[in-house]
Amino acid sequence: MTPTMNFRVFYGTWLNGRCTSTATVLTSTAAATDPSSAGVISPAVKPKVMTINTTSSPSSSTPLNATVKAVQTSDSNDTLAYNHVDSRLSGCRKRESRVDVNSTPGGQIMSLCADDIDYGGNIERFSGYADIYDKYRPHPPAILADVLIRWAQLTRIRLVVDLGSGTGISSRYWADRAEHVIGIEPTADMRALAEAQTGAPNVAYRDSLSHQTGLSARSAQIVTCSQSLHWMEPLATFKEVARILVAGGVFAAFDYDWPPTTGSWEAEQAYEACMRRVRDLEKDYRVKTPIMQWDKPGHLERMQASGLFRYTREIVLHHEDKGNAERLIGLLLSQGAVMTLLKGGYREDHLGLDEFRAIADRTLGAEMQPWVWCSRVRLGIV
């Protein structure tokens, strides 16, 4: 009997920047048929779900390379539609990508084959505002290092690898805690500022991607992703993490809750309202290269589904910080969605930044006040 696997894919038919049809595939085979008969439905209608039947049945012990149009990486159809469609094109567009499938019966597809993904949109998204990012973004909580070092069951760490290291905030954090630190960052101006800001001789940076670090196998005791895993192809990244970590090594992907707790509910409410407006505008924005993004709440489930970690769990940490109106405004300006629109010609009043500034200035002022950040850490042991 041919084994079956449940995984969801995009068919990839798009109309005016909206997904018009998706498909639920029940297969363990090497090729998926083209469901062109699905037709096109109105963008106002929720994506159509259909089943694709296939015929070939390779060995259940080998990975498959199933050819489909695109992969569903989130439960949000709006996000998916934006992430995978070039909204400059009118009418319908199809995008083809190869998919790596683990053929264990009942397994789930992970995501697009990393080598087929164009990361240009992601790199462009974080270009041009490294100074703002570095000035206002938070530093990792001090207790995080203690947790990871305990999990690694070591008193001294030889090598920490920081994937998506940006301007080096999360790499420099390890300078006094590890013998060597390597930040992996493909965005040139982010990496250049990281190098300029880093005085510690044991911290270095590489122009690489998370799934192609170029590092030696079994060389690191800890690998981190600070606010960056959602921009990385998951399965290929997890495979690379498992390759470069020593047995018993620790992987930690952590994300902050935005905005921080500032003591002004009005300022936080205004921040959230501005970001909602930005996200709505971004759906219709005509980007040069579509971005690739995965949902943060799905990190742990994807880690577990990869089969590459012996143990996984999620923990929540918090740390105190200080800020004022200027910093909260700077934090919003450090968001890729905001800068994408501003770089694209939108004015601040289009985004609601003028209203947000006024409320932040009125309720927070210039004096530095105590803030609290919460971070959600997804942990894995290889």
Q: How confident is the model at residue 289 (pLDDT cuts 50, 70, 90)?
A: low
User: How confident is residue 13, by pLDDT bands cut at 50, 70 and 90?
Assistant: very low
What tens digit of pLDDT does each residue of 290-311 get? Answer: 788 899 999 999 999 999 999 9
Q: Determine what percent of the chain is predicted with pLDDT higher than 90.
A: 65
Q: What is the pLDDT of residues 233-249, one digit of tens each?
A: 999 999 999 999 999 99
pLDDT at 288: 59
Per-residue pLDDT, 51? 29
- What are the backbone angles phi and psi of residue 229, rounded to the nearest 5°? -60, -30
The pLDDT of residue 285: 78
CA dihedral (241, 7, 113, 222) in degrees, to 10, reads -10
- Per-residue pLDDT for 176 more than 60? yes
* pLDDT score, position 119: 84
**What's the pLDDT score for residue 287?**
60
pLDDT confidence of residue 33: 33
Mean pLDDT confidence for 43-70: 29
Show the domains of the chain with their CATH numbers. 6-109 (no CATH), 130-381 (3.40.50.150)
Residue ranges of E strands in the chain: 6-15, 18-26, 51-52, 64-68, 70-71, 97-101, 157-163, 178-184, 203-206, 220-226, 245-256, 311-323, 369-381
pLDDT confidence of residue 284? 79
Query: What does the mean pLDDT of the chain come to?
Result: 76
Instruction: Please enumerate in sequence order all residues whose Cβ is within 8 A of that of 17, keeping only pairs 6 or more positions apart, or say none.
Output: 43, 81, 82, 85, 87, 283, 284
d(CA 125, CA 292): 11
pLDDT of residue 291: 82
Question: Higher model confidence: residue 344 or residue 284?
Answer: 344
pLDDT band of 113, cuts 50, 70, 90: low
Half-sphere exposure of 293 (CA within 13 A, CB side): 23
Strands 157-163 and 220-226: parallel
The one-letter amino acid at 133: Y
